[in-house]
Structure 1
Amino acid sequence: MALFNHVLAPGRIGTLELPNRVIMAPMGTEMGTHDGLFTEQEIAYYTERARGGTGLVMTGISAVSQDYEVINPGLCRVDTDASLPGLTALAESIHAVGGLVSLQLTAGLGRNLNVIDPDRAPISASDNPHYADPSVVCRPLEVAEIQVLVRRFGEAAARAAAAGIDAIDIHGHTGYLIDQFMSACWNRRTDLYGGSVENRCRFAVEIIAAVRAAAPGLPISFRLSVNHRFPGGRTTEDGQAIAVVLAAAGLDLIIADDGSYEAMDYVFPPYYLGDACMVPAARALKDVVDIPVMAVGNLTPENAEAALLAGDADFAGIGRGLIADPEWAGKLAGGRRDDIRPCIRCNSLCVGNAFFALPLGCAVNPQVGFERERRIDPAPAAKRVVIIGGGPGGLEAARVAGLRGHTVELYEADTQLGGVLWPAATPDFKKELRAMIGWWERQLAKLPVTLHLGHPISADSAELDGADEIVVATGSLPLLPPIDGIDGPNVIDVLEFHRGAPVGPRVVIAGGGLSGCDAALELAGQGHEVTIVELADELARDMIIINRITLLRQLAEGGVRILTGHTVTAIDIDGVTVSGADGADDVARVDADTVVAAFGVRPNTALTLALAGRANVHPLGDCVSPAKVGDAVNAAFMVALAL
């Protein structure tokens, strides 16, 4: 069994002793009140991560001021004494389970502000265009206003200390207001807060000093985007120079990441970016500062251990991994690495919810945000539950039903569990998605759940006799439109490709949804000449924008030809005929050795319809309406919780 001695070793940040090197990276929850105060829901969420063994839990952003910018509803505020009861409750709750908590403080979003107040311009270091609406020009903060914000940081830190908070983190990355001051691309000032690196960092340095004076003894960390990852933005060398100034100002820890709104996929790295994608940022800072550095970005236990062993970082920042499994650290410490529920890096219900100002959720952990309400308690009476389908919905339903004490029989027609996950997750960038199948298998092996593989079920199957509850999770079927040649020998379904069907050198992907685009990316990486034909005017239009940014960039880098606004009208042995929006005058040929059909899926409703009228039948997942993995998992959890 692998050891994680470096991840589990005690650590120190300033005066604070941590039991291990696992720190929950700051992430917004959107669980605050409309006025920005901590709620019981949010406190329960953070407490569960502390209870799970996390060395230090960091909160999402809390605004220190409403003087020049109003924080979005759902995000937290600590600019008045009204925040003290919630802060105190948070600290007491986390301390009660043996944890430690750091409060992240923000000066605001500046040019990245989500909602523009029509009565006052957004603020920034200089007269920058607003990120989302460049027609709106930001108002440069005046020196007196900068000093007000510095003072507000001190006031907020004093409240945190009075409430029993253990540490303070300063939100200085991703192109938010403090970052706008530190960055030459956004700071064109000619006063003491502009020009040289030292002057551009002056706002941040004064904030550090104000926090130190107001909360003496509390460790201070700072989150820094080492490389902005866009042309004209901060380079790694720029980031190193800034880090040196910040470290000299008295920081106890720097959190190193990359990205900006202009390169937002690095802010919330999707599965396309692979493991440990920002460890080089931490390494760059380790080369120039002598204070501890924390790495973040798609860290698994293995590559977190490797980064600490190599000296690339001193602490492992786990964000979405701790959303997926609050016991991430505790399971490592208990020798249960295989029981850690993988984060599949889909961004759908964590980042995706935040983009719509919805409370945090998770595709693989339906208890996120409902730590009090969705407890898995024993059922009042044990039942015999039959589950038909071993995809994500069926597996999650079996897990929760088994945990509640029901006797579960799961029947899967295929010889392999996972449903479409098993073939669809063949690319290396989706390995965490495939790992979920193994995780479910290991959990079910400990429960009163019997798996029957290669065992199809029909409405009159004897296996259904005597079942108290029947869960139907039969998934979906490929959608094949009536196109001439669709049944030709050179046409394969996208899942057949993932299952290993041979593919020629030139490939047309018919359909530019997520499955088609991922197949194109995989094929291009294998050296195939790939063309995607998509009816809509853009690819993967239902995909979360964060993931889509990386996908489109990597498709372009892979040389994938994209024909949006086109329809496949015929297929023959030499390729496809496509027509564009102009109809008969816009017809073209695309030569191909293989055509991969990725037109989407339709619900597999046959069994549900055949069981119509029978009591206690619960259809869920794609057999009801094709959707994302997270939708099936969350629906399955709720069905099983109600059995």
Structure 2
Amino acid sequence: MSSYPHLLAPLTLGSLELPNHVVMLPMGTEMGTHEGLFTEREIAYYTERAAGGVGLVMTGISAVSQDYEQINPGLCRVDTDDALPGLTALAESIHAVGGRVSLQLTAGLGRNINVVDPERLPISASDNPHYAHPEVLCRPLEVDEIATIVRRFGEAAARAKAAGIDAIDIHGHTGYLIDQFMSPVWNRRDDQYGGSVENRCRFAVEIIQAVKAAAPGLPVSFRLSVDHKFPGGRTREESQRIAVVLAAAGLDFILADDGSYEAMDYVFPPYYLGDGCMVPAAQALKEVVDIPVVACGNLDPDTAEQVLAAGHADVAGVGRGLIADPQWCAKLADGRREDIRPCIRCNAMCVGNAFFALPIGCSVNAQVGFERERVLTPAQTPKHVVVVGGGPAGLEAARVAAERGHRVDVYERDAALGGVLRPAATPDFKKELHAMIGWWERQIARLPVTVHLGVEITADSPELAGADEIVLATGSTPLVPGTIPGIDGPNVVGVIEAHLGADLGRRVVVAGGGLSGADLALELAQAGREVTIVEMTDEIARDLIVINRITLLRDLAAAGVRTLTGHTVLSVDEGGVVARGPEGDVRVDADTVVTAFGVRPATTLAEQLTAAGRTVRTVGDCVSPAKVGEAINGGFLVGAAI
């Protein structure tokens, strides 16, 4: 019997018979043409996930209208017949691998639109302030304009059906235009589209009906945010009433999530929010509707199975997990749960790229967006490759080189693999990052890779003599300013040692408020310690993607962490630190001072080998300290190039 009987059981959604209870959630790819049409690159991305066995692939948003709002470049549009060839190619490609595809249709962003055009005011349900530019008031849609958008939904649905698309999803969540009509915080109309729940849902209901009439037989779903997570936003009880109205309009299933632009971290939940962070939203809708409910929000296979088994939802929605590993479902079906590459929930190269209108990538999967180009093929001439450093860059380079048929020796000076990941991933909220170490260990165990632990390689080490290729992934070394009096005192430890379990007192000062220091401060405070961060810049964790930073700062405040930004450490003594800030010097009492001043590349070995005439490939922090995604992606490219 399968360990995941609920996830892997066949599923019926409307007229669709699906092989399992997993759907790939809609996520923008930014892979479309500038005009918003599907590209071969985007089709290959979706097809790879369908081939990996997911029950239903749901695309990112596709605009049904350009009448009153211009879609952002790179996002898709289906408002003209020019979209038909791309839609047809998408459906045919996914069907060719046995998959099914749902097209998500959007009415637009409304008050959330990225760029304010002075020639055309943003639209909304009422005269709401624009989200990013509150001095700009949106223009309420006229009744005839609402009718035009509803008609455009029908036209787009007809194109989808003609192209062979299997289902339609309506983009109604997180404060976008349809949501602005449904929510009293944004809808102050006094016509038939405002006032009561039924009136505020009228726009959405007319859209559902138009889609079903134009594409008969296609299942229709709707994505609803149950809790907007900001004061005045929609809450559970209001959303339950809305869900009842939408279900009665003819929905076949409904997707439940939380968040809004005012609570952006719930739209793209980072690792701080933990497993299944939006399952309560699905539970709330399960209480009031009879149609299947899709749960989402940091669902790994085990959490997803538990949610379905408990009856909290009917279907598991997986987004970034399927970016990280398109074979998520196939590996579960094959009994290979341990081989699923973990999504580390960092948001760095998926959401982070999309925020800058760049095609999405993935911190742990360098083939995302390059499904056709970065196919690993056998090397023409197998080589002996020596990799120095068993951190993320070195392990990925070793894995990829071995996948191509090379014989690889990995030398790690510590007693365990993982490099910087071992200390960085000690908090429970980073358990998926820590799981990457075990994933690499399992992958290289089946490949021609030999790991040598506790071996430090120098320029004259005999282990390098027979190498055809040398890859240096030697990482970085901590920066500790030697000019600070007392910085070498007995009560001072480095951030890495602190993460790895060094003896710390009850009162801790973390000197340095970058991501490493801030995460440690949160971990220590949640464990009951009294923590102060001293940071010389004006921001904590300024190197962290803004979405994740929202949660981090909220959690630091909730845990009682004191933050002194704009302060420079002047001295350390046995009783704490003295720091200088905008209002003068301040003393912070502490039992332990943790240094988290940053790192610098460990370049010595590369310089020595190069000087000796050896050709080396360098990757990861020894080139330039960066995030784990850059290290892993760099390791992939180095391994693939050998």
State the AA in 1 paired with 2:51. R
Secondary structure at 1:577 match in 2: strand
- Aligned equivalents of 2:607, 2:32: Cα separation in 1: 43
1:505 aligned partner: 506
- Report whether the alignment pairs 1:109 with 2:113: no
Displacement of 1:117 after TM fit?
1.0
Question: What does residue 633 of structure 1 align with?
Answer: 632
Looking at structure 2, the residues matched to 508 and 615 of structure 1 have their Cα atoms a distance apart, in angstroms, of 44
Whether 1:319 and 2:313 are equivalent positions in the alignment is: no
Instruction: Look up the match of 1:86.
Output: 86
How far 1:615 sits from its partner (Å)?
4.0
User: 1:89-130, CA deviations, whole angstroms, 9 ceiling, x for partnerless residues?
Assistant: 000000000000000000000000001111010000000000
* Cα distance in 2 between the residues matched to 1:191 and 1:29: 37
Q: How does 1:160-239 map to 2 (within 5 A)?
A: 160-239=160-239
Q: Does structure 2 conserve the Cα–Cα contact (< 8 Å) formed by 1:42 and 1:369?
A: yes
Corresponding residue number in structure 1 for 2:622: 623
CA contact (8 A) 1:468 1:616 kept: no
Deviation at 1:423, TM superposition (A): 1.5
Shift of 1:616: 3.3
Instruction: Name the SS of the counterpart of 1:612 in structure 2.
Output: helix
* Helix, strand or coil at the partner of 2:610: coil
- Cα offsets for 1:349-399 (capped at 9, x unmatched): 000001100000000000000000000111111000000000000000000
Q: 1 CA distance for matches of 2:586 and 2:442?
A: 51
Aligned mates of 1:118, 1:306 — CA distance in 2: 50
Within 5 Å, which residues of 2 pair with 1:402-481?
402-481=402-481
Contact 2:489 2:573 in 1 (8 A): yes
Q: Is the counterpart of residue 243 in structure 1 residue 238 in structure 2? A: no
In structure 2, what is the equivalent of residue 275 of structure 1? 275
The residue identity in structure 1 corresponding to 2:545 is I
Q: Distance in 2 between matches of 1:636 and 1:421?
A: 15
**Aligned ranges 1:213-612 → 2 under 5 Å:** 213-482=213-482, 483-581=484-582, 586-612=584-610
User: TM-score w.r.t. structure 2 length?
Assistant: 0.99
Take 1:149 and 1:424, find their aligned partners in 2: how far apart are those partners?
A: 49
In the alignment, which residue of structure 1 is the partner of 2:641?
642
**Deviation of the 1:581 alpha carbon:** 3.4
Q: Is 1:136 aligned to 2:136, yes or no?
A: yes
Partners of 1:541 and 1:428 in 2: CA distance: 22
Which residue of structure 1 aligns with residue 61 of structure 2? Answer: 61
State the distance in 2 between where 1:195 and 1:538 align: 42
One-letter code aligned to 1:147: A
1:611-634 superposed Cα distances (whole Å, 9 cap, x missing partner): 114343101100011000000011
Secondary structure, in 3 states, of the residue corresponding to 1:547? Answer: helix
Task: Please list the CA deviations of residues 224-263 of structure 1 after superposition, one character each: whole Å capped at 9, or x if unmatched.
Answer: 0000000100011111111010001100010000000000
One-letter code aligned to 1:478: P
Unaligned residue ranges in structure 2 (runs of 5+): none
Deviation of 1:138 after TM superposition, in Å, equals 0.3
CA distance in 1, matches of 2:517, 2:575: 20
Partner SS for 1:570: strand
Deviations 1:269-325 (A, max 9, x none): 000000000011001100100000000000010010000001111110000000000
8 A contact 1:227–1:236 mirrored in 2:
yes
Q: What SS is found at the alignment partner of 1:217?
A: coil
In percent, how many aligned pairs have the same letter?
Answer: 75
- Structure 1 residues without counterparts, runs of 5 or longer: none
AA of the residue aligned to 1:261: Y
Distance (Å, rounded) in 1 between the aligned partners of 2:107 and 2:628: 37
The separation in 1 between residues aligned to 2:614 and 2:486, in whole angstroms, is 44
- Superposition map of 1:2-81 within 5 A: 3-81=3-81
Deviations 1:318-355 (A, max 9, x none): 00000000000000001010000000000000000011
Structure 1 residues 465-517: Cα deviation after superposition (integer angstroms, max 9, x where no partner): 12110000000111101211110000000111111111111110100000000
Alignment check: 8 A CA contact 1:51 1:94 kept: yes
Alpha-carbon distance in structure 2 between the residues aligned to 1:510 and 1:237 = 45
Under a length normalisation based on structure 1, what TM-score does the superposition of the two structures give?
A: 0.99
Q: Distance in 2 between matches of 1:81 and 1:44?
A: 22
SS of residue matched to 1:423? helix
Cross-structure match for 1:120: 120
Amino acid at match of 1:602: R
* C-alpha separation in 2, matches of 1:231 and 1:11: 38
Q: Deviations over 1:37-57 (max 9, x none)?
A: 000000000000000000000
Farther-moved stretch of structure 1 (40-49 vs 598-607): 598-607
- For 1:398 and 1:621, locate their aligned partners in 2 and report how far apart those are by CA, in whole Å: 13
Q: Secondary structure at the match of 1:611?
A: helix
Secondary structure of 1:563's counterpart equals strand
Determine the C-alpha separation between the residues in 1 that align with 2:114 and 2:391: 38
Give me the whole-angstrom Cα distance separating, in 2, the residues matched to 1:542 and 1:158. Answer: 46
Q: Deviation string for 1:21-68 (max 9, x for gaps)?
A: 010000000000000000000000000000000000000000000000
Higher mean Cα deviation, 39-48 or 113-122? 113-122
Instruction: Describe the shift of the 1:464–1:2 C-alpha distance in structure 2 as closer, same or farther (beyond 3 A).
Output: farther
CA–CA separation in structure 2 for the residues paired with 1:410 and 1:243: 55
Contact kept? 2:609, 2:615, Cα under 8 Å:
no
What is the CA–CA distance in structure 2 between the aligned matches of 1:159 and 1:2, rounded to whole Å? 39
Task: Tell me the secondary structure at the aligned position of residue 194 of structure 2.
Answer: coil
The CA deviation at 1:580 is 1.0
For 2:511 and 2:253, locate their aligned partners in 1 and report how far apart those are by CA, in whole Å.
50
Cα drift, residue 420 of structure 1: 1.1
2: CA distance, partners of 1:422 / 1:213: 55
Worse-matched range after superposition: 613-622 or 285-294 = 613-622
Q: Distance in 2 between matches of 1:296 and 1:326?
A: 17
